[in-house]
Amino acid sequence: MQKDTIKLSKFLSYVLRHKPESIKVKLDPNGWVSVDTLLYQANQHGYPIDHTTLESIVATNDKKRFSFSTDKSMIRAAQGHSSQQVAMELSEQFPPQYLYHGTAIHFLESINQQGLISKSRHHVHLSDNGLTAKLVGARHGQPVVLTIEARKMFESGYKFYLSDNQVWLTDKVPSQFILV
């Protein structure tokens, strides 16, 4: 991805996940916004982007953070929302036996006490493989991969969802289900 494209991708993440109001965009409860509205408002706020560039960003984003509607008239972030405009309807999924969460080693004490909590986001994010989790953890410091006993959690009544970009989501992970 080129430098300008990376900047635009980060901008789209900010708008579609966290602050749609920053460019006067309103997301529907499932996080969708009209592509035309998004492009118009982005351009009005100093982020020059057109349909071709947007399609390229969606197609080449390594984390598949964005999804188009089938007719490409609407766009949304796949997951990671903190905006109160969004309350995505996700269908419950049966998780694999283990899922993984990447974090930095300096967060372990807090995690051991509280478990994994969503903080400002709507869900805790988990992956189905340790490598992805390690890469996520490395963004925050010396990485550590936590193994989550997802099946045991599910059998204890916790719900799991799978986002458009294959990130597993749950409301929280109590410490008794975390293996370091």
80, pLDDT greater than 70? no
- CATH architecture of the domain with range 1-75: Orthogonal Bundle (1.10)
Residue that is written with structure tokens 């993984």 in the block: 100
The mean pLDDT value for 119-141 works out to 88
- The residue among 164, 165, 160 whose CA lies nearest residue 149 is 160
Q: Residue 106 has what DSSP assignment?
A: G
- Whole-number Å distance between alpha carbons of 161 and 89: 10
Residue 79 has pLDDT above 80, yes or no: no
Q: Is 83 a residue whose pLDDT tops 70?
A: no
Mean pLDDT, all residues of the chain: 89
Whether residue 86 has pLDDT greater than 80: no
Judged against a pLDDT cut of 90, whether residue 33 lies above it is answered with yes
The tens digit of pLDDT for each residue in 13-32 reads 899 988 899 999 998 888 89
Task: Note whether 109 and 50 are within 8 A (CB).
Answer: no
**Is 9's pLDDT higher than 80?**
yes
pLDDT, mean of residues 135-146: 91
Cβ 100 vs Cβ 133: under 8 Å: yes
pLDDT at residue 1 tops 60 = no
Nearest-angstrom CA–CA distance, 107 and 71: 42
Q: Which residues contact 31 (CB under 8 A, 6 or more apart)?
A: 16, 76, 77, 81, 83, 85, 86, 88
Q: How much is the average pLDDT of 109-119?
A: 91
Strands (E), the chain: 33-34, 66-68, 74-77, 99-104, 116-117, 124-126, 143-148, 161-162, 168-170, 172-173, 178-179
CA distance 124 to 80: 9
Class at the top of the CATH hierarchy for domain 97-177: alpha beta
Question: pTM (2 decimals)?
Answer: 0.62
Q: Token pair for residue 159?
A: 């719900």
Percent of the chain with pLDDT over 70: 92
User: At 108, is the pLDDT very low, low, confident or very high (cuts 50, 70, 90)?
Assistant: very high
Average pLDDT over residues 124-151: 93
Burial of 134 (0-12, 13-18, 19+ CB in 10 A): middle
pLDDT of residue 166: 84
Instruction: Write down the domain spans for the chain.
Output: 1-75, 97-177
